[in-house]
Amino acid sequence: MAMTMTQKILAAHAGLDSVSAGQLILANVDLVLGNDVTSPVAIREYNKLGQDEVFNKTKIAMVMDHFAPNKDIKAATQCKMCRDFCDDKEIVNFFDVGSMGVEHAILPEKGLVVSGNVVIGADSHTCTYGALGAFSTGVGSTDMACGMATGKAWFKVPSAIKFVLKGKLNKGVYGKDVILHIIGMIGVDGALYKSMEFTGEGVHTLSVSERLCMANMAIEAGAKNGIFEVDDKTLEFIKNAGGKDPVVYTADPDAEYDEVYEIDLSTIKQTVAFPHLPENTHTIDEIDDIKIDQVVIGSCTNGRLEDLIVAAEILKGRKVNKRVRTIVIPATQKIYLEAMEMGLLKIFIDAGAIVSTPTCGPCLGGHMGILAEGERAVATTNRNFVGRMGHPKSEVYLASPAVAAASAVTGKISSPDELA
């Protein structure tokens, strides 16, 4: 039976020769992930099972990132619960203040996910790791608890949509623009419980960071997962991160897809998602004078070194608008250190921005950048739902680091071209 990339990975982990869309399977998982918001619920459910040991101490990861460093007593209590559990169960991959980073940035960086893996995480953006040719998807905290106990999870095998990427992005256009374009094209439910498979020669022109950004936002189209075909860039990234034993799966030539889209990357323009859905997209040339109050550059979507370099190139020698609070958040400690050694942090501070410790922070309306009523932010994050970053009458506009940085300077949504 012909299968997609995702279906082949799931079949292998279920011990089956083949699977088909809609089939229910029980599959082994390679990694179970939780954060400081979702893990406490999973821990309580796990404790109800009365099991002394987790299935594998090296295949569970907990990352304190959403409300860490702790913003209040409740956040501190949540993190303490995770810390105590990981101490008791001797969980190897526990990332706390000083060692932590935004979960979907730190796991690839540490080589904890490789091609061919099955990863479940109690966070919807777990789909990020499909950039490395893994099947990864978000689950509920109860599924996380069962995964920690058994090393297995139930799945309904998804059907798939194929995206054939051609050509090459123009200067100033990035992976964030591509995925916003796609979500604007198919809608926030356009890939509901489906696998978004990215293939074609255009894939090989995208950096791994751009692929991580795009796979991260597959959930914003309703997808079960996003997955990229593996190439030399993927394998080099995994090797450099210390990842072990990647397994490469390719789709069969006659695999079935619900839809096939061909996208010429050279036609993609800088794209911004307006409130209050990621599908509400406009290209930069369609946008009039929209003044803003805050810019956030960071998150599991666009807080990697490559993103910070793009922003720094635009901010160097310039000042952010005095009306715009500009917050830069490196996604991990490693990225923070590299940015510091490259002089990027000085550029940001000289420009009038602030640089935060790695945290999800303002992305989910957590802390360190909450919006008041009537305020607008341009953010490199992944969601712009009502109240996502603060007051329900605030507005979030999603954009690339390039557009975010340019907007910080002008005080309105802008292309870097406007600064020339």
Q: Which tens digits make up the pLDDT trace of 236-284? A: 999 999 999 999 999 999 999 999 999 999 999 999 999 999 999 999 9
User: In the block, which residue shows the tokens 């995702």?
Assistant: 6
Return mean pLDDT, the chain: 96
DSSP string, 248-301: -----TT---SEEEEEEGGG---EEEPTT-TT-EEEGGG----B-SEEEE-HHH
Q: What is the pLDDT averaged over residues 276-295?
A: 95
**Percentage with pLDDT > 90 across the chain:** 96
Domain at 43, CATH number: 3.30.499.10
**Residues 170 and 88 placed together within one structural domain of the fold:** yes
Say if residue 420's pLDDT is above 80: no
**Residues 225 and 313 placed together within one structural domain of the fold:** no
Rounded Cα distance, 141 and 138, in Å: 10
**Residues 130 and 183 placed together within one structural domain of the fold:** yes
**Residues 124 and 167 placed together within one structural domain of the fold:** yes
Which distant-in-sequence residues (6+ apart) come within 8 Å of 299 by Cβ?
102, 329, 331, 360, 363, 379, 380, 381, 382
Could you give the number of structural domains in the chain? 2
Could you tell me the sign of the dihedral formed by the alpha carbons of 62, 66, 67, 68, in that order?
Answer: positive
Rounded Cα distance, 69 and 80, in Å: 12
Say if residue 143's pLDDT is above 80: yes
In the three-class reduction of DSSP (H, G, I as helix; E, B as strand; rest coil), residue 173 is classed as coil
Say if residue 358's pLDDT is above 80: yes
**Residues 258 and 293 placed together within one structural domain of the fold:** no
Query: Which of 315-324, 360-369, 371-380 is the least confident region?
Result: 360-369
pLDDT value of residue 1: 83
DSSP classification of residue 361: G
**Residues 237 and 256 placed together within one structural domain of the fold:** yes
Q: Label residue 8 by pLDDT band (50, 70, 90).
A: very high
Instruction: Give the tens place of pLDDT for each residue, 185-207.
Output: 999 999 999 999 999 999 999 99
Rounded Cα distance, 187 and 181, in Å: 10
Phi-psi region of 123 (alpha: psi -120 to 50; beta: other; left: phi over 0): beta
**Residues 104 and 244 placed together within one structural domain of the fold:** yes
DSSP string, 8-69: HHHHHHHT-S---TT-EEEEE-SEEEEETTTHHHHHHHHHHTT-SS-S-TTSEEEE--SSTT
Q: Which of 353, 390, 365 is nearest to 375 (CA)?
A: 390
pLDDT value of residue 100: 85
Q: What is the pLDDT averaged over residues 311-333?
A: 97
**Residues 145 and 243 placed together within one structural domain of the fold:** yes
pLDDT value of residue 302: 96
pLDDT value of residue 63: 97
**Residues 183 and 42 placed together within one structural domain of the fold:** yes
Q: What is the pLDDT averaged over residues 158-178?
A: 97
Q: Half-sphere exposure (CA, 13 Å, Cβ side) for 389?
A: 32
Q: Are 18 and 266 in contact (CB under 8 A)?
A: no
Q: What is the pLDDT averaged over residues 36-47?
A: 96
Instruction: Give the tens place of pLDDT for each residue, 208-243.
Output: 999 999 999 999 999 999 999 999 999 999 999 999
Rounded Cα distance, 82 and 244, in Å: 27
**Residues 129 and 235 placed together within one structural domain of the fold:** yes
DSSP classification of residue 152: E
- Containing structural domain, residue 389: 273-419
**Residues 243 and 192 placed together within one structural domain of the fold:** yes
pLDDT value of residue 291: 97
Other CB atoms within 10 A of residue 6 CB: 31
pLDDT value of residue 51: 87
Q: What is the pLDDT averaged over residues 341-362?
A: 96
Rounded Cα distance, 196 and 191, in Å: 7
Task: Supply φ then ψ for residue 91, to 5 degrees.
Answer: -70, 125
Rounded Cα distance, 38 and 50, in Å: 20
